[in-house]
Amino acid sequence: MSPSGGLFQFAFELGSALAARGECVELWTGPRPELDSTQRGFTVRPVLPTWHPGDTEVHSRVFRLARRAVRAAQLVLAWTVLSVRLLATRPRAVLWSQWRFAFEPLFVAALATVLRASTLGLIAHEPLPRSDAKDTSTPKSGKLLTRAFRAAWQRLDVAFVLGPRTRDMAVSYWQPRCPVVVIPHGAEPGLRGGTQVRAVTDTEPVVLFFGVWSKYKGIEILLDAFVLVRDQIPEARLVLAGAPSADIDVAAVLERCDRIGNIDARPGYVAVDDVAGLFDAARVVATPYIRATQSGVAHLAYTFGRPVVASDIGDLADVIVDRATGLLVEPADATALAVALVELLRDPELAARLGAAGEASVTDAWAVAAERVADALADPKHVAQKENQ
């Protein structure tokens, strides 16, 4: 696992919640993790040769290809190190956080044959693997990949997903023999720290897009919508903060931002210490995804009491409740997105009410998630029987 970013932050908060229940948890990750634990029973161990995802400097195509080759070798080495450590420690339970490439589930399938006393689980943030280098708006496919993933899924003792629609997708696609348990995503206190942010009613008309700039996240749709927003609210501003994905033409995005105006584009990984300042200035957070199962950004927005305007897609509607904690629009509809953004930018009182409701909705989510994970890891057969009743 990378020592920074959304998956690491999720694992960190879940590990903290499990430790609060009395579990002994170790989070194995790469060097210099961006969050460290002082909580009894929860240890972050930087033992894997992975890397931070924050290098967004523009390089030549040859350099990028060479770096991909080096990182591929690092990833294989990381799985080798992980396997050796698992065989040496034989933990009671092993919980993976996402697989992307065909060789990763092959490692899992092999480990399942020797770690018979360990309960093996997966948190399937995205059950269908997607490319990080090509079009992220569509899942990867291929006979080898499908066979490898299905083999690993069918050797798991339990899997966890972040919504009922995602569960249905995972079950139909991979046909696992284990229970697939829905758990909630909680707030992000590790990123907020002790920072106090201003009230939503004290903000200016600022829209925040936070996270990786990827095609599937609808960044082009957001730019189309912001043109319409500025027609009605000329002083409105848009902040784009996050590391660009390989399927985004950064130069073209920056050029378009300059043409539209009032856009603060910040391509690059956002350090933990800088997160609170971005949400402090925002009145509303936009997640205009064209493909998604869930969004950690929405939960981060709620951590800071900010409402979310989101695409009605995947399991997002279970988190962003329309007109209760945010506003939902049809995916890839720039006009509808603009209408929703204008409504909240013009009505800070409404934005504040929705943001406060969102913050309240995630208050106890990690405790609920930890309870479900702990119960399932302790007795997956009992969980399977409950699901079948």
Each residue's pLDDT tens digit, 209-223: 999 998 889 999 999
pLDDT score, position 383: 64
pLDDT score, position 38: 93
Tokens (6 digits) for 270: 């956002």
CA separation for the pair 158, 93 (Å, rounded): 10
Residue found by looking up tokens 């050796």 in the block: 84
pLDDT score, position 374: 97
- All residue ranges of the chain with pLDDT < 50 are 389
Of the candidates 177, 122, 128, which has an alpha carbon nearest to the alpha carbon of residue 155?
177
The pair phi, psi for residue 76, each rounded to 5°, is -60, -40
Indicate if the alpha-carbon torsion angle 158, 159, 162, 164 is positive or negative: negative
- What are the DSSP calls for 189-221, one per residue? HHHHTT-----GGGS-SEEEEES-B-GGGTHHH
pLDDT score, position 53: 74
pLDDT score, position 137: 63
pLDDT score, position 386: 57
pLDDT score, position 293: 80
Of the candidates 303, 318, 323, 321, which has an alpha carbon nearest to the alpha carbon of residue 363?
303
What does the pLDDT look like over 234-276, one tens digit per residue?
A: 999 999 999 998 888 999 999 999 999 999 999 999 999 999 9
CA separation for the pair 164, 319 (Å, rounded): 12
pLDDT score, position 369: 97
pLDDT score, position 380: 80
pLDDT score, position 133: 58
Q: Domains of the chain, with CATH numbers?
A: 6-186+365-388 (3.40.50.2000), 189-361 (3.40.50.2000)
Residue ranges of the alpha helices (H) in the chain? 6-20, 61-89, 103-114, 143-153, 164-174, 189-192, 219-232, 250-260, 272-281, 296-303, 334-346, 348-361, 365-378, 380-388
* pTM score: 0.92
pLDDT score, position 389: 46
What does the pLDDT look like over 149-199, one tens digit per residue?
A: 999 999 999 999 999 999 999 999 999 999 999 999 999 988 888 788 999
pLDDT score, position 362: 94
Residue found by looking up tokens 């770690």 in the block: 115
